[in-house]
Chains A and B, each alone.
Chain A
Amino acid sequence: SYELTQPPSVSVSPGQTASITCSGDKLGNKYASWYRQKPGQSPVVVIYQDTKRPSGIPERFSGSNSGNTATLTIRGTQAMDEADYYCQAWDSSTGVFGGGTKLTVL
């Protein structure tokens, strides 16, 4: 079965750039989306179809996808961005999530 691999944790200083990777076989041939989940809350999409931002998501969030790796980049990271982030893709018709990355802003 298809697998997506994320680092368990990423740390960043306020105002700096955070990058969270998601690796999968030929992931660049698929579309990746990214979800933010804060404690006790439901997930929220922050990037879809590799690079698109939903309305209401700040411009500091961006995404890319090429080769075997999709990347979520958060520029000018703020304390409010501290959360768990999950990548997601489709293996044909079935969904796959990465294991999640805890972003710590310190």
Chain B
Amino acid sequence: EVLVLESGGGLVQPGGSLRLSCAASGFTFSSYVMSWVRQAPGKGLEWVSIISDSGGTTYYADSVKGRFTISRDNSKNTMYLQMNSLRAEDTAIYYCAKVEDYYVSPNKGYFDYWGQGTLVTVSS
């Protein structure tokens, strides 16, 4: 059974930092692209970042570029999101998602498995 489990959320002050983790199981983690998607309270889904299977290629939404860093440790089947210079507008549930078919062109990728999410609250 494929499982992805986020952790690391919590309350942080504006300007602070937080690192989220996503532990994966039930599939060959090192063979799949992984992504972070967030959802502000009462709002829609927002794509945040994506990382290649090797970890060598990453992309970010403009809203987090320069502040967030995505990474992965394939030996631990875990993906991370380092969030710095946090703002109130970063308050959201952060979901980890496995991506299928990302490399096919044009991009056929889709999110086939999602975690339950971890809540990040940025407030003083």
Contacts and interface: CB of A to CB of B under 8 A. Distances in A.
Contacts of A31: 106-110
B47 A54 contact: no
A99 interface: yes
Contacts of B59: 93-94
Size band of the interface chain A makes with B: 20 to 34
A86 B44 contact: yes
Contacts of B111: 33, 35, 43, 45, 88
Interface in A11-33: 29-31, 33
A29 B50 CA distance: 22
Contacts of B35: 95
B29 to A, nearest CB: 19
Most chain A beta-carbon neighbours within 10 Å: one of B106, B109, B112, B116: B109
Nearest to A86: B45
Interface string A62-97: 000000000000000000000010101010111111
Interface in B58-85: 59-62
Nearest to A48: B110
A44 B115 CA distance: 10
Nearest to B48: A95
Most chain A beta-carbon neighbours within 10 Å: one of B95, B100, B107, B112: B107
Contact of B47 (A42, A45, A92, A96): A96
Interface of A: 1, 29-31, 33, 35, 37, 42-45, 48-49, 54, 84, 86, 88, 90, 92-100
17 contacts: A30-B107, A31-B108, A33-B111, A35-B111, A37-B45, A42-B114, A43-B114, A45-B110, A49-B110, A86-B45, A90-B109, A94-B47, A94-B59, A95-B47, A97-B47, A99-B44, A100-B44
